[in-house]
Amino acid sequence: MQPEIQQQIQQLRQQLQEASYAYYVLDAPIMPDEVYDRLYRQLQDLESDYPELITAESPTQRVGEQPATQFFSVKHNIPLYSLENAFNFEEFAKWQERWQRVAPSLTPGQEGNAPPLTPPYQGGGQEGNAPGLSNKKNRETTPPLSKGGLGGVSYVCELKIDGSALALTYENGVLVRGATRGDGIAGEEITQNVKTIRSIPLKLNLDNPPPFVEVRGEAFLSLAVFEEINREREKAGEQLFANPRNAAAGTLRQLDSKIVDKRRLDFFAYTLHLDEGNEEKTQWDSLELLRRMGFKVNPNRKICYSLDEVREYYEYWDTERRNLPYMTDGVVVKINSVLLQRQLGFTQRFPRWAIALKYPAAEVPTIVEAVTVQVGRTGALTPVAELKPVQLAGTTVSRASLHNSDRLSDLNLHIGDTVIVRKAGEIIPEVVRVLPELRPQNAQLFQMPSCCPECEQPVVREKGEAVTRCINTSCPAILRGSLIHFCSRDALDINGVGEKLVQQMVDSNLVHSAADLYDLTAERLMSLERMGKKLAEKLVSAIANSKTQPWSRVLYALGIRHVGSVNAQLLTERFTNVTDLASASAAAIEGVYGIGPEIAQSVYQWFQVPANQSLIARLKIAGLQLQSEVKNQNLASTNLQLAGKTFVLTGTLPTLKRDEAKDLIQKAGGKVTSSVSAKTDYVVVGEDAGSKLEKAQSLGIELLSEAELLELLSTP
């Protein structure tokens, strides 16, 4: 291999990378398109002659040659939490009060370096000034606590882009994985499609990149591209996309990356995760580092030191967002200090240090033609308005939630009323208000039924609750909902058992509980309409395969109120078998980190019900996993040297990645947590260890190097 060939290839890649960054990120082209195309062809020819020199970060590798056959689920390195929503400033102020109640006392200087405040938008000179948003004065020091202020804490405000969230993983500066958000714990691996997005660098623009970088951001379609795609689909006689968000999500799930490339998705980065010790001090600094790495960061961001400034930013973009080339549905407000973010942590669903301040959704009038009542798997009765179909936010809406009895009472809803409908969170249609002046004569007031519309048993409404419930555990609606949940993808993932089949099985009296699924035979299933032998055998096999799902999924599948997949995981880590959990007191359950009193009481009460105890007994006989794998092993075994020991990892280890070290510890029976406490047995310390090392030293916890950890693992 001639060194000049390698040098030429490297030089071409560098030129193309710089040109792509200037064009797609800076919006400031540095070379004509025909020059870029000529250089690109030169690189293609050289890589064709010397295929051994092709690397993943080469610009020629953005578009795959062969379509994918399917996407695979991958667990996120770091969970993707949702954001709590606020729909007005009263809700925003309450959120601020909540985090301030749990925040530790702040001292000056915790925030790190704040950017200069003139002009109001920072980011390397791309943004310029926007009218109506100039700061009243420059601040050289953190402002004092004052009425309506933030007590020395600044916020970073960013526009909430209406697209599809992505998680990007870089190792040694090279993009190795791109994944969709999914359920926040796991998503679909779509790396080849992610590579087609030109504003996502294949290689970070850093001379010495960290070994691990995780970037979060939003893939989206500009309004111009969206309209162009729909024009082409209309010409081809294809169904039009409802809105840019749906189009972006659908594009990312195309199996052929060439189609994705043609759709010209764009990307804004907004979150940066680095190994502890390499983190920036503030969210603002993280955004600046993302920009230096080669990402496009939304230019319309601002640092705010008071609620008035947050309101000013929010109100300005409520009007100006209509002039943006992409859709935005609100403002994301984040506490600037990374240290304070870490101290505040997360609830089960949201980070405590960030919130989405949403803009009011579009509202349209329509007529209520009828009201039906749905019964959910928990027995909750939900009234639903059947509407004269109307277009709302890009979709046709013919039904809208009325929530509960209290909401109905507030609305004073009559059949035939003209109502105003909007999408709650821009997703779920809901009735906002009634226009009584347009009410027809003799219109009938709708009232909630006193008996369940499914089983005709009396319904109840607990004191202090807004929800009316059916408490008949044999109610067909509750059974259907429970079975659908039990078989769902995030629960036992029984392929082929969906809503229609569940409806058939319940109506035919084939199943009366989830345990009955495991007694089904192909012959019994063939009694159902349109059920052939081959399909019946396939379903029986899928049901049998579900027996291998782990204890955490089984617990989630039971459908205990308030127990989602994350809570199920937390509970099964503490209670490693169903017997321990079923016999635990409410106080013991509440003792699990992240489990509150309402969840604990719900779990405790569920296991006191005889029918539920019977269900667990039958599932145990059927062979489902009702205990964790570690519990099945002999804790005295030499393969579980670390049983009962709790570890914390901090800093960068010499040879092991953090996930690898965590996996080794867990396979040896140990537990790895994210924070140091008096219950921690060992802290494994790597290079550039941070505050966890200091806390461990103050508590007198034993410290281990990587070599000492490996020695501990090898000791019988």
Residue of 41, 34, 33 whose CA lies nearest to 12 = 41
Binding-site residues for NAD(+) sit at 33-37, 82-83, 158, 181, 218, 334, 358
d(CA 468, CA 452): 10
Does the structure show a pLDDT above 90 at 391?
no
d(CA 165, CA 252): 10
Does the structure show a pLDDT above 60 at 120?
no
Does the structure show a pLDDT above 60 at 149?
no
Under 8 Å between Cβ of 468 and 447:
no
Does the structure show a pLDDT above 70 at 625?
yes
Residue 161: count of CB within 10 angstroms of its CB: 26
Does the structure show a pLDDT above 70 at 159?
yes
Q: Is 540 helix (H, G, I), strand (E, B) or coil?
A: helix
Does the structure show a pLDDT above 50 at 610?
yes
Q: What is the pTM of this model?
A: 0.52
Counting residues of the chain whose pLDDT is more than 70, the rounded percentage is 87
Averaged pLDDT score across all residues of the chain: 82
Residues 6+ away with beta carbon under 8 Å from 437: none
d(CA 11, CA 248): 34
Region of poorest pLDDT, from 156-170, 458-472, 554-568: 458-472
Binding-site residues sit at 33-37, 82-83, 158, 181, 218, 334, 358, 452, 455, 470, 475
Residue of 688, 700, 643, 649 whose CA lies nearest to 666 = 643
CB half-sphere exposure, 686, CA atoms < 13 A: 17
Mean pLDDT, range 37-63, rounded to an integer: 77
Mean pLDDT, range 310-339, rounded to an integer: 91
Peptide bond before residue 119 is cis, with ω within 30 degrees of 0: yes
Identity at 592, one-letter amino acid code: V
d(CA 11, CA 5): 10
Q: Which residue has the tokens 């105890």?
A: 613
Q: Which residues of 379-398 are buried (b: 16+ CB within 10 A; e: fewer)?
A: bbbebbbebeebebbbeebe
Binding-site residues for Zn(2+) sit at 452, 455, 470, 475
Q: CA torsion sign, 121 to 124 to 126 to 129? A: positive
Does the structure show a pLDDT above 90 at 712?
no
pLDDT band per the 50, 70, 90 thresholds, residue 124: very low
d(CA 688, CA 684): 12
What is the pLDDT, as a whole number, of residue 582?
94
What is the pLDDT, as a whole number, of residue 370?
95
What is the pLDDT, as a whole number, of residue 117?
32
Q: Which residues are catalytic?
A: 160
User: Each residue of 650-691: pLDDT tens digit?
Assistant: 887 877 777 778 878 877 778 887 778 888 889 998 877 777
Q: Which residue has the higher pLDDT, 113 or 513?
A: 513
User: Each residue of 184-234: pLDDT tens digit?
Assistant: 888 889 999 999 998 999 999 888 888 899 999 999 999 889 888 888 877
d(CA 373, CA 453): 7
Does the structure show a pLDDT above 50 at 148?
no
Residue 699: count of CB within 10 angstroms of its CB: 12
Mean pLDDT, range 37-53, rounded to an integer: 78
What is the pLDDT, as a whole number, of residue 106?
46
Q: Structure tokens of 670?
A: 């140990």
What is the pLDDT, as a whole number, of residue 645?
85
User: Each residue of 510-533: pLDDT tens digit?
Assistant: 999 999 999 999 999 999 988 999
Q: How far is CA 89 from CA 86, 428, 692, in A?
A: 7, 22, 36
